């Protein structure tokens, strides 16, 4: 059998094409999640040096309330953005679900019923968004801007300038109870939902379909992926997690106002994008979103301990969203310029 010929000249140096990311260790160290984890550690150290109260176990436990409810929504939002869609009505869903629970509490419905009403309202809102996007083929950003006004507007019509209270004592456990020592029920629920969404996205056929749709929806359709069904399910998931967040937040506050969770949609999207999920779709991990949640929680809690005004925190969140969206685009342009 003859040997395959080569076009290289005798004595010419061999040209090897190296792996662009190097060894597995090099790939791991250069990943966004590892870099973000380093940022989280740096923020933790800076907070511990800036405030003598930061390292108190109960203060750290309180810090988790800054992000657990938003992060649970962010897990579902991550899947939606990976699939190339977005839901800007999540905070308004919380307001409507909380209003429904408050109205039910006024007529004496107990804790199990209130939880079902909150989650059911979230699912109904998610189904409504999903129907408009997946069935009527409307752009998700336009749809959810509209439903953001619709859902919160209903809350303002029902409540006006009033507030609902009078929730059963047992209802307070979801937002104020502790599983053991300083570990709150909300934090335990946050870890559980993180694990569930990590498995759903990274270890199931449904997760693979989400990535395929986000990378090329046209090709996904020709590959037999049920695009509309997947998108409808994703909107159901964001509605479900918004309903669960509404239960936890309403329980923690002990009251319902139409302005509840105002502005949370920006923080949820920031958390997702900061976690490495591409705003253009097709890429991202739940691990990155988990780390991003800790980063944002540590920053906001640290600023709170230093008595930094809330408006400054809002400015920080807005700048963080711009930077995290701009950095990958700028890096891509720099790489393209260096190759040309």
pLDDT given for residue 322 in this prediction: 85
pLDDT given for residue 12 in this prediction: 45
Average pLDDT over residues 156-169: 93
Average pLDDT over residues 21-45: 75
pLDDT given for residue 28 in this prediction: 53
Please state whether 12 falls in left (phi above 0), alpha (psi between -120 and 50) or beta: beta
| Residue ranges covered by each domain of the chain | 54-330
- Tell me the per-residue pLDDT of 49-66, one tens digit each, with 9 for 90 and over: 998 889 999 999 999 998
Whether 2 shows a pLDDT value over 80: the answer reads no
Give 340's pLDDT tier (boundaries 50, 70, 90).
confident
Of 254 and 13, which is predicted with more confidence?
254
CB 74 within 8 A of CB 271: yes
Whether 7 shows a pLDDT value over 70: the answer reads no
Mean pLDDT of the chain: 89
State which CATH number among 1.10.10, 1.10.3470, 1.20.120, 3.40.50 fits the domain covering 54-330. Answer: 1.10.3470
- Tell me the per-residue pLDDT of 107-158, one tens digit each, with 9 for 90 and over: 999 999 999 999 999 999 999 999 999 999 999 999 999 999 999 999 999 9
Residue count of the chain, please give it.
340
- Tell me the per-residue pLDDT of 263-278, one tens digit each, with 9 for 90 and over: 999 999 999 999 999 9
Write the CB contacts of 175 (distance below 8 Å, at least 6 apart in sequence).
Answer: 185, 186, 247, 248, 249, 250, 251, 252, 253
CA 313/CA 320 separation, integer angstroms: 10
CA 102/CA 91 separation, integer angstroms: 16
Strand partners, 164: 256
- Tell me the per-residue pLDDT of 184-241, one tens digit each, with 9 for 90 and over: 999 999 999 999 999 999 999 999 999 999 999 999 999 999 999 999 999 999 999 9
């Amino acid at each position: 059998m003859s040997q395959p010929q080569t076009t290289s000249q005798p004595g010419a140096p061999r040209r090897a094409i190296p792996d662009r990311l190097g060894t597995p260790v090099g790939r791991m160290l250069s990943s966004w999640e590892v870099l973000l984890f380093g940022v989280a550690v740096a923020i933790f150290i800076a907070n511990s040096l800036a405030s003598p109260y930061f390292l108190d176990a109960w203060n750290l436990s309180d810090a988790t309330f800054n992000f657990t409810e938003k992060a649970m929504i962010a897990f579902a939002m991550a899947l939606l953005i990976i699939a190339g869609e977005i839901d800007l009505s999540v905070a308004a869903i919380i307001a409507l679900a909380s209003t429904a629970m408050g109205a039910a509490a006024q007529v004496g419905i107990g804790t199990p019923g209130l939880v079902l009403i909150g989650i059911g309202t979230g699912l109904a809102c998610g189904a409504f968004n999903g129907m408009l996007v997946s069935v009527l083929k409307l752009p998700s950003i336009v749809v959810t801007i509209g439903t953001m006004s619709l859902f919160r507007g209903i809350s303002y019509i029902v409540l006006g300038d009033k507030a609902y209270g009078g929730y059963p004592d047992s209802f307070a456990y979801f937002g104020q109870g502790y599983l053991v020592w300083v570990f709150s029920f909300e934090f335990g629920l946050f870890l559980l939902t993180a694990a569930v969404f990590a498995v759903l996205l990274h270890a199931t056929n449904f997760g693979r379909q989400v990535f395929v749709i986000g990378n090329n929806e046209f090709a996904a359709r020709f590959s037999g992926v049920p695009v509309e069904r997947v998108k409808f399910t994703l909107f159901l998931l964001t509605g479900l997690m918004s309903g669960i967040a509404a239960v936890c937040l309403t329980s923690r506050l002990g009251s319902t106002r139409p302005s509840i969770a105002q502005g949370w949609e920006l923080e949820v999207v920031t958390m997702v994008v900061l976690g490495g999920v591409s705003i253009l779709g097709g890429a991202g991990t739940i691990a990155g979103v988990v780390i991003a949640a800790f980063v944002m929680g540590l920053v906001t809690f640290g600023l709170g301990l230093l008595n930094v005004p809330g408006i400054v925190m809002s400015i920080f969140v807005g700048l963080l969203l711009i930077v995290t969206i701009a950095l990958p685009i700028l890096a891509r342009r720099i790489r393209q310029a260096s190759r040309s």
